[in-house]
Homo-oligomer: A and B are copies of this chain.
Amino acid sequence: MKRPTLKAIAEQAGVSVATVSRALSGRGRVDEATRQRILRIAEAMGYAPDMAARSLVLRRTENIGFLIHALQSLSPHTFYGELLTAVERELRRHRYHLQFATVEDDSLPTLIKENRVDGLLLVGCDLPPSLIWTLKERRLPLVLVDNHMPGVDSVFTDNVGGAFQATAHLIRLGHRRIAFIAETLANLSFQERFEGYRRALEAHGLPFDPELVAEGERGVEGGFIAMGRLLERAQPTAVVAANDPTAASAMRAIRARGLRIPEEIGVVGFDDDPLALHTDPPLTTMRVFRARMAALAVARLLDLMRNPEQPAVHICIETQLIVRQSCGSSPIPS
């Protein structure tokens, strides 16, 4: 059977399409009796307004775009999947739909050019800033998620504070030679975590030693490589990893050197990836709140769509230390 239209309902009910439209939309007065009749018929026919016709006249699609960098999203080690479903759930509560797209460069996605979305969630810190500015100039409502920059609304994790806490935790346990590793530092989130690490050292009167910092490579082996490089030139008693996959991968490098965790080297990660439960020993890490991030980002975006001319707002979400067994639980002997 075909999708019913307003016209079909109108004929069935013996009224005009205008009346049917009013009855169903609730805008404009309709006699209560005919309204009920129309509603029953519409229900029976399984009517729902055609989205194309609606958005053509209403000038909105009730679609939100979820944009992510193609490389980032292809990486298996990302928590954006969970973020995505949380966003979709949140959008659905508000009668919006989610359009998912990846971007590879700074050219304007067809999603935008063809007017397929009313607003945008730009996810991750690797989307080209030039693209972000182009979008802003189009006056398209948008919110950065897990990323931030001046002049654009954003919702993100407190990376600096989180890494500070993680490092302070290790210091509290008695560690003095604490290393920092990342797949790469060419990434805003990782830079911020590095910054938090440095600030924690400073706040506790420990010297910063560049020899205790190592980068690896992008990919699942990043932490393994970084940790290998580090252990060739230094003997840290603990290491802060820029994220959990890096930490897990580093743990393999540590074990490969015959060192025990946490007795000889403590490890702390970041993200509370499900992975963290399965490492041996289970990984102490900083939990980030993806569902909160999703809800706040959606709320902000919808607000921005209602009322576009607002100063940019930046929403920073704190992290939480999850203590497992990779750092040891009591101060180490010096």
Write the residues of chain A forming the contact surface with B, with a CB cutoff of 8 angstroms.
Answer: 1, 3, 46, 48-56, 61, 63, 66, 70, 73-74, 76-82, 84-86, 88-89, 92, 95, 97-102, 108, 110-111, 113-116, 138, 220-221, 245, 248-249, 251-252, 255, 273-275, 277-280, 282
Contact = CB atoms under 8 A, between A and B. Distances in A.
Given A50-B115, A61-B52, A80-B81, A249 B278 contact: yes
A42 B181 CA distance: 50
A1 B98 CA distance: 25
A108 to B, nearest CB: 8
A92 B101 CA distance: 9
Contact of A116 (B51, B84, B111, B221): B51
Number of copies: 2
29 contacts: A48-B110, A48-B115, A50-B114, A51-B115, A52-B52, A52-B61, A52-B115, A54-B114, A63-B116, A70-B85, A74-B82, A74-B85, A76-B81, A76-B274, A77-B274, A78-B81, A80-B81, A84-B84, A92-B101, A97-B99, A97-B110, A98-B100, A98-B101, A99-B99, A221-B277, A249-B278, A274-B275, A275-B278, A280-B280
Contacts of A274: 76-77, 220, 245, 275
Contacts of A46: 108, 113
Contacts of A78: 81
Contacts of A111: 97
A78 B61 CA distance: 30
Given A73-B81, A80-B81, A88-B100, 9 more contacts: A50-B114, A51-B115, A88-B101, A245-B278, A251-B278, A275-B275, A275-B278, A278-B278, A278-B279
A64 to B, nearest CB: 11
Contacts of A50: 56, 114-115
Contacts of A79: 76
A63 B97 CA distance: 12
Contacts of A100: 66, 84, 88, 98-100
A77 B102 CA distance: 22
B110 A89 contact: no
A138 to B, nearest CB: 8
